[in-house]
Structure 1
Amino acid sequence: MTSTGANWLQKALFPIIAGVIILVFVGAWAAVLIQVWSFIPSEEAPAVVLGDGLVVAAGVLATTLGTQTASALGFAVAEVRAIKGDSGFSVVAVAQSLRIETYVAVFAYLAIGLAVFATWLFRESAAPELVNAFALSLLGWLIGASGVIFKPTGE
């Protein structure tokens, strides 16, 4: 492999892995949401029954993306505080320190999470426990993020 090819691979490997994780997360949760919203409850089947593989994959992916984005945001906050101190700390400074993959992951997690939350609110009786669990997990993630957003500036 040429030096240029190796450099490209070194720079692109982790963004490619991140992109695949995000795409699989979106795909798995889109499959869950489509099944819940297209489901018509009956006496024999009052709620959607998802396949075990989809339940495990969607649950693991939601946990993975939620924890990874939360930790990336937490590390960014710590790095900005370490470099700029409390006087130079701001949400904007934290946002500027993030990589594009983190932005994409956060927006994917929020978009799917909000769709799952709406599903939990409006289709609760048809939704499996997986939907309820992710909706509550999203609330916890948002509450954690709000600690930075609503932090007093000290000025």
Structure 2
Amino acid sequence: MGDFFRTQLFNIIAAVFLALFVIVWGTVLLQVWVFVPEVPGTPPKLNGAVVCAAGALSTSLSSLTASALGFTMAEVRREEQSGSAEAAGQAPAGVFEAGGFTTKLSGRVIAALMVYLVVGLLVLGVWLVKGTASTDLIGAFSLSLLGWIIGAAGVVFQTEKPSPQASAAG
């Protein structure tokens, strides 16, 4: 039994972190969604501890996933520059191979990306539907998610980089 926990420790920590993120944000979303204001446009009052936990968890998960994408991108680029990507049968120099990038992401990182994206899109949806009747917390996370998506899109749409010959000719 001890060996199981020893070998699965990182997976357990990741699962607990992601579960907390989903539970806390699920609670926030439920409270905001079912809230019926006495005065139209009035946001619900949330427990301060929930607000702090939700903010800390969303900021942490956003930072963790963004840094994982950035470090993985740097690793793939480093391999391309050293020639090991071509030797491994991957894309030639100057072409970014998305498959090589995604295979470098661990299962934990992929799970974190998917959880962040799904919960974030739900939060964005609630913010867009409820408008001023949502909370500043919902709005802040929605804007943060949009920034994160823009950054991730920068990675996704970067399918080609200029070759040294094209740079010298331009």
Q: Could you tell me the TM-score, scaled by structure 1's length? A: 0.90
Supply the distance in 2 between the matched residues of 1:44 and 1:94 (Cα, whole angstroms): 48
**Regions of 4+ moved over 4 Å:** none
Cα displacement (A) at 1:10: 3.8
Specify the alignment match of 1:39 in structure 2.
35
Cα displacement (A) at 1:84: 2.3
Cα displacement (A) at 1:72: 0.4
Supply the distance in 2 between the matched residues of 1:65 and 1:88 (Cα, whole angstroms): 30
Supply the distance in 2 between the matched residues of 1:120 and 1:62 (Cα, whole angstroms): 15
Cα displacement (A) at 1:43: 2.4
Q: Could you tell me the TM-score, scaled by structure 2's length? A: 0.82
1:105 corresponds to 2:101:
no
Counterparts of 1:64-103 in structure 2 under 5 Å? Answer: 64-85=60-81, 86-87=93-94, 89-103=96-110
Cα displacement (A) at 1:152: 4.3
Confirm or deny: 8 A CA contact 1:91 1:148 kept in the other structure.
Answer: no
CA RMSD, aligned part only? 1.9
1:123 corresponds to 2:130:
yes
Supply the distance in 2 between the matched residues of 1:122 and 1:46 (Cα, whole angstroms): 14
Cα displacement (A) at 1:45: 8.5
Determine what percentage of the aligned residue pairs are the same residue: 42
For structure 1, list consecutive stretches of 5 or more residues without a partner in the other structure. none
For structure 2, list consecutive stretches of 5 or more residues without a partner in the other structure. 82-92, 163-170
Q: C-alpha offsets along residues 29-67 of structure 1, whole Å, 9 cap, x if unaligned?
A: 000000011010112982111000000000000000000
Rg: which structure is higher? 2
Supply the distance in 1 between the matched residues of 2:113 and 2:107 (Cα, whole angstroms): 10
Counterpart among 119, 144, 152 of residue 145 in structure 1 = 152
Higher mean C-alpha displacement, 9-18 vs 65-74:
9-18
Supply the distance in 2 between the matched residues of 1:41 and 1:131 (Cα, whole angstroms): 16
Aligned residue for 2:80, secondary structure, equals helix
Supply the distance in 2 between the matched residues of 1:109 and 1:51 (Cα, whole angstroms): 22
